[in-house]
Amino acid sequence: MYRFGKKEELIDGIKKGIPIGVGYLAVSFTFGIWATEGGIPLWMAVLISFSNLTSAGQFAGVGLIMQTASLFEIGLSVFVINIRYSLMSLSLTQKLEKNVKTSQKYIFGFGITDEVFAIAAVRERPITAYYMYGLMSTPIIGWTLGTFLGGLVGNVLPPRLSDAMGIALYAMFIAIIVPPAKKNRAVLFTIIIAVIVSCILKYVPVFSFITDGFSMIIATFIGAGIMAYLAPVAETEGKEETS
Amino acid sequence: MNIDLKYMCLAVFIMALVTYIPRAVPIVFFKKEIKSRFIKSFLYYVPYAVLASLTFPAIFTTGGNLYAAIAGTAVALILAYFEKSLVVVAVFSVAAVFVTNLFL
């Protein structure tokens, strides 16, 4: 068992985080424009992005602020949208290197976004503190900086381009899940089941009361649950049984 | 439009808190190593299920219209199949949406 130095871990994390940071720059640029146009001061929009570091929850929360909704309503809505993170956070506990300190985990909690989680969760080696710091850093910078630039310069991008950029993060998600799905049939089926459930919850009118955050949780439980039952992974360190 | 600053600060603080809590509580307080093979397997599949359900069907509502979104999705799937890097997949997918929109 060879070990990796702090520096190597940090650099590895930063490298993996750069695409996320670039994607965030584009999305938060839109957030910056939208928030400032809706009456949020620029510094506040930047503070929101830095302190929340999330997309759906933040858009919903700021939308409610613009309508001067009650603080309770804001807190509850944002919390419900963000419950999904607890599943990701729990999943990461099993991948942490043994000597990660509790104080460091408090910092990790800040940076567990969908994308950061995805990259960290599919890492082959255990997650060290410096890897996680590296991984979180560019997304934090990208998200905050993008908000600032968007709020500052406003609608300078042609609408066609900003429309097109909306697909960037989803394209990245596809880039993360497709290669492992090629090699591991159980992963492929997990994805297919999750997509089917997610689409049903979205398009079948009976389920229209389910919010997107919950829909993701339900689809995840069903997809990962069925495959965990049908194709349990081998005992050796979460490695899949490759057929 | 003028929004009360104190109200806004409080709201933002609450938002940050209810975003931080679900992210931090499990990772900080859950210290056991899960022994159950089923739960281990479940957690192994979680990231794929999470990303798949976040992406679909939401990806089809991006890009301004459905055809552009389908073009972008197709390009992303093909490039991802050939294991191109995240940035390459994202850039070409955006380009596909942009170009499709030019013709619509």
Q: What is the pLDDT of residues A149-160, one digit of tens each?
A: 999 988 777 878
pLDDT tens readout for residues B41-80 = 998 999 899 889 989 999 999 888 999 999 999 999 999 9
Q: Over pLDDT 70: what percentage of chain A?
A: 95
Residue B72's pLDDT is 96
As to burial, measured by CB atoms within 10 angstroms (0-12 exposed, 13-18 middle, 19+ buried), residue A2 is: exposed
DSSP bridge partners of A127? A96
Between CA B97 and CA B67 the distance in angstroms is 8
Residue A58: C-alpha distances to residues A17, A64, A157, B11, B101 (Å): 21, 10, 22, 11, 28
**What Rg, from alpha-carbon coordinates, does chain A have?**
19
Q: For residue A1, is pLDDT > 50?
A: no
Q: Name the residue among A2, A7, A3 with its Cα closest to residue A133.
A: A7
Of residues A243 and A232, more confidence is placed in A232
Whether the ipTM is more than 0.90: the answer is no
Partner residue opposite B14 with nearest CB, options A20, A74, A181: A74
Q: Name the residue among A21, A13, A191 with its Cα closest to residue B87.
A: A21
Continuous segment of H or E residues that includes residue A176: helix A168-183
Partner residue opposite B45 with nearest CB, options A94, A176, A227: A227
Contact between A151 and A31 under an 8 Å Cβ cutoff? The reply is no
Tokens 């495959």 sit on residue: A227
Q: For residue A241, is pLDDT > 50?
A: no
Residue B87: C-alpha distances to residues A24, A172, B28, B53 (Å): 12, 7, 32, 21
Residue A239's pLDDT is 47
pLDDT-based confidence at residue A17 (cuts at 50, 70, 90): very high
pTM listed for this prediction: 0.82
Residue B71's pLDDT is 97
Between CA A229 and CA B9 the distance in angstroms is 46
Residues 6+ apart with CB under 8 A from A66: A38, A39, A40, B1, B3
**What Rg, from alpha-carbon coordinates, does chain B have?**
20
Neighbours of A181 (CB within 10 A): 21
Partner residue opposite A112 with nearest CB, options B23, B43, B63: B23
Q: Distance, in angstroms, between A9 CA and closest chain B CA?
A: 20
Contact between B45 and B78 under an 8 Å Cβ cutoff? The reply is no
pLDDT tens readout for residues A44-73 = 999 999 999 998 889 889 988 998 899 999
Token pair recorded at residue A98: 């043994």
Q: Find the mean pLDDT for residues A195-209.
A: 93
Partner residue opposite A48 with nearest CB, options B12, B42, B86: B12
pLDDT-based confidence at residue A235 (cuts at 50, 70, 90): low
Token pair recorded at residue B59: 């990806």
Between CA A221 and CA A174 the distance in angstroms is 20
Q: For residue A237, is pLDDT > 60?
A: no
Pick the residue of B1, B9, B41, B104 with the most A CBs within 10 A to test the interface with A by mutation.
Answer: B41
Q: Where are the domains of chain A?
A: 6-178, 184-243
Contact between A188 and A181 under an 8 Å Cβ cutoff? The reply is yes
Q: Per-residue DSSP letters for A76-105?
A: HHHHHHHTHHHHHHHHHHTTB-TT--HHHH
Pick the residue of B2, B9, B46, B100 with the most A CBs within 10 A to test the interface with A by mutation.
Answer: B46
Partner residue opposite A109 with nearest CB, options B23, B34, B72: B23
Residue B95's pLDDT is 95
The dihedral over CA atoms of B91, A116, B52, A240, expressed in degrees to the nearest 10, equals 120
Residue B86's pLDDT is 85
For chain B, positions 17-76, list CB contacts with chain A under 8 A.
Answer: 17-28, 30-31, 33-34, 37-59, 62-64, 68-69, 72-73, 75-76
What does pLDDT average to over chain A? 90
pLDDT-based confidence at residue A169 (cuts at 50, 70, 90): confident
Residue A3's pLDDT is 63
Residue of A nearest to B75 (CA): A171
Residue A232's pLDDT is 95
Residue of A nearest to B102 (CA): A160
Residues of A in contact with B89 (CB under 8 A): 171-172, 174-175
Phi and psi dihedrals of A113, rounded to 5?
A: -95, 170
Contact between A192 and A155 under an 8 Å Cβ cutoff? The reply is no
Cβ of B102 within 8 Å of Cβ of A160? The answer is yes
Residues of B in contact with A107 (CB under 8 A): none
